[in-house]
Each structure stands twice: as C-alpha cells, then as structure tokens.
Amino acid sequence: MAFCGVSEIMKDKKRKSLGKVRASEEMTAAGGLHRNHGTGHKRRFGEQWTIFRVPEHIREVDKKAYNPRVVSIGPFHQSRPELRAMEARKLRMYERLMKQIGDEGRDVGLETAIKQLEGRARRSYSEEFDHISSEEFTQMMVLDGCFIVELMRLYHESNQHGQHVEEPIFATRWMLPNITRDLLMLENQLPFFVLQEIYKLTTFDEEAIPLNKLALLFFEPLRPQKGEYTEIRWHDQGKHHHLLALYHSSFVPSDYHPSQRFRDVRWNRHENFPGKFWLEEVRILRRSGITFKSNPGNLLNIEFENRELRIPTLFVDDSTGPLLRNLLAYEQCNAFAAPYFTCYAIFLNSIIDVPEDIEILQEAGIIVQSEAVDEEVVNLVNSLTKELVFDLDDRNDCYIARQIEDINAFCRSWKSKCIYQLSCIDFVRLGLSFLFPWLK
C-alpha cells in the first residue's frame, strides 16, 4: 500500500518535540475580536493559530491534565515514547478504512487531497514545525485524521446500532475512555477542516450523519453531566477550529442574549462583590435565604429566580479536572473563543470555599462525586481559576452577569438580612433560657 512508506517514515525518523514559537505579534489576535454569545450572534472565529501548546504558567497548576495518556494527535506529542504503541493501531485503523472503501488508489487520492491543505494546516498551529518535512506532515495528518474518523464511525456502529466491532480498542474497558479524553486535549488537536476532508472522501452513504454530530455522539460519555443533559445541539453545522472547539460550542447557553446595557459597563468591586470573587459562599448564601436546586439543563445554564439558585449537576470523577482545564486553556489561548467556562469556573470558585459548601450542594444534587472526598473537590474547584486571565470587573464577557447582580441584590435586601440574622439565633437555647433562667 502507498501508506506503508508513511508508517516507516514515522517509525524510523526521530522528530524533535518542540516547534519554533511563532512571533508574538502574530499570536496576538485580540485586535479583531467580535462578540460571540451563541447561535444567532456574531461568531468569534480566526483561521490561524487555533491549536496551541498550553502556556507553562497554566500547565504548572496540573501538568498531567494537558498530556495525552494513550494517543498522540498532531505534532506536539508525537515524539513521546510512551505513546508510540498507538502508532501501530493508527495504521491498522487506516488500513481498515482503506479496505472498506475498496477503491484502488483511494489512499493516494486521500494523501494528495490532504497535501493541498498542508499550508493551511501548518498555520493552524501556534508553533512552526520546520523539522517536519512536507511529506511527513501530510502523512501525519492523514494517519491521525483517518484514525479519528474511523474510530468515531466504529463507535457509532457499536453504540447506536448494537453492532459488534472486531477491534482491540473496543475489547478493553480502559482504552476507549482514555483515548476519548486524549482527543479533547488542546495540544492534541487536528484542524477540523482536515477531518472534514477525510470524512468527505471516505463517506459514500448519502444518509450518513454529519461529522459534527458523529463527534458529539462520540464525546457524549465524557460530558460532566453524564447523560443527564439531552438538549445537545446534535444537528450543529457550524464552523469549528477542531474537536475541542466543537465540544466547547455544544455547551454554549442556547437562551443567552447579551444585554446592550452591559456593553463597556464595569462592576465596582467594592460595591458589587461581597465575597472572594463574585458571590458569597454557599453556606452564607443559604443563611441569607437562598435555596439551591439542581438544574437539568446545559452545564452552563445557571438560573436565579424567587430566591432559588438553580445550578446544573456536575459529576466529579477522574476525567472532570482534565476536561475542564483543557476547555479553560482553549479559552485562555484563543481570544476568539468566548470565555464561558472561565466564567463558570470563577462562579464555582466564588461559592465553594470549604467542605461544608460541597455538602450543601451535594444535598441539592448539584455536586455528585465518584470517589473524591469533599476536600478534594474543593481543591479542584479552587485550582481551576489559578493563573487564568480574566477581568473580574468586566460584565461584557460574563454570560451570568445578570444572575450575579440579582443574587447580590437580594443578599443586600432587608428581607435577606433579616433571614440571615434569624439564622444566627439558636432558638432551642433561647427557649430553654426562658424556661430555665439559670441556664447560661
């Protein structure tokens, strides 16, 4: 097969792990920002420098969260020896895909098509990989792209149609979940247009589901709500940088409509923010008269009405931290990405400070954890915002600005202050003191 040369080149040639960082003036994309607050609004989108190496100051908070465990995709981690075992599986998936196509010379045509996208694909990365030849780079895109496309196809067949798949990746309990997690790491991305081209050239069924939906179905088990959220926009046909960007877009609050009055308006921290960030902690909010309830909607849909704060359920397990950290890193590295998860992380860090806060949220069904103790969940939440850059006083990019203002306004009301004062009174001891005055 024509692709055998590809595998030999990839196995025999040693490649450097670091690329040349692009000029800083090229990396600054803020000059052309457009607001993106979901469907129906202007989208933030930049063609170049959309796949980044996580900055060292962010990586230091949790180094393991950004390194793939099983499979390397793209140029950033391709030289790591612990990931080389997957190269043979990639080649097997490629050969499986070519065999199913059954068109002689299809592999050559596929490589030729991706070769035409090489320049655009290279410009998608924040580093210049001059040590990777044109042939090697094209072959890497083909091999990695075919692996992803065929893996998602097989998953759909086995999961949606109940078909047994003769593939070792599906014969273990640990491999597929780890690969899924690896494919949502910022440094482990391929340009989405490469995947789309491969999907187009290897799909002949006119009724085949779109690639966007295929990917979202594949990543569904990793969602922090573990299947409780059913309103995912499966029919998304938007333009996305890569798989992580597509996944990010599936969380965008569908009913969010930015208020014009928030344009270029800032909060006064001393007047508006009573807690360490935007709000008081859960235990204080509850004593102030606010009740907590789980919200079955989108993870980012936080609502406040009639003293009730509704927050979607967050399942905390081993994959939660890395997933949230990579979504945050994507927002930090790409100025065109709306900072929804940055706001979500700051919100959680505002209301969670001690294990008692976690216990209250657990009682309301808002926090569900697998094995982690309450203190570990507190540490996870508090570490999410470390080294993040975000103007806490700016309402323009805060999708829950209205909710924050309403909560704090209620807490400043006389009704809330009365409830808080009453919550501080030990009525049992007070009653006993009237009955038995000698008690102290």
Asked if the model's pLDDT at residue 5 lies above 50, the reply is no
Residue 103: predicted pLDDT: 65
What is the phi/psi pair of residue 359, to 5°? -60, -40
Contact 195, 261 (CB under 8 A): no
The residue-averaged pLDDT of 227-236 equals 62
Residue 163: predicted pLDDT: 72
What is the phi/psi pair of residue 266, to 5°? -120, 150
- Model confidence pLDDT, tens digit, residues 309-335: 999 999 999 999 999 999 999 999 998
Per the structure block, which two tokens stand in for 180?
Answer: 């899924």
45/200: higher pLDDT: 200
Asked if the model's pLDDT at residue 272 lies above 80, the reply is no
Helices (H), 220-319: 243-249, 269-272, 282-287
DSSP 190: -
- Model confidence pLDDT, tens digit, residues 371-418: 778 999 999 999 999 999 988 887 888 999 999 999 999 999 988 888
206/251: higher pLDDT: 251
Residue 25: predicted pLDDT: 34
As a whole-number percent, the residues of the chain with pLDDT over 70 amount to: 78
- Model confidence pLDDT, tens digit, residues 105-153: 667 789 999 999 999 999 999 999 999 999 999 999 999 999 999 999 9
256/96: higher pLDDT: 96
DSSP 208: P
- Give SS3 for 303: strand
Residue 159: predicted pLDDT: 83
b/e burial code for range 204-222 (CB count within 10 A of at least 16 → b): eeeeebebbbbbbbbbbeb
- What is the chain's length? 440
Residue 39: predicted pLDDT: 40
Separation CA 242–CA 239 (nearest Å)? 9
For strands 20-21 and 314-316, give the pairing. Answer: unpaired
What is the phi/psi pair of residue 430, to 5°? -65, -45
Residue 235: predicted pLDDT: 67
25/330: higher pLDDT: 330
Asked if the model's pLDDT at residue 428 lies above 70, the reply is no
Residue 262: predicted pLDDT: 53
One-letter identity of residue 202: T
Separation CA 386–CA 346 (nearest Å)? 10
- Model confidence pLDDT, tens digit, residues 348-360: 999 999 999 999 9
Residue 335: predicted pLDDT: 86
Contact 189, 330 (CB under 8 A): no
- Model confidence pLDDT, tens digit, residues 170-196: 888 899 999 999 999 999 999 999 999
- Model confidence pLDDT, tens digit, residues 159-170: 876 777 788 898
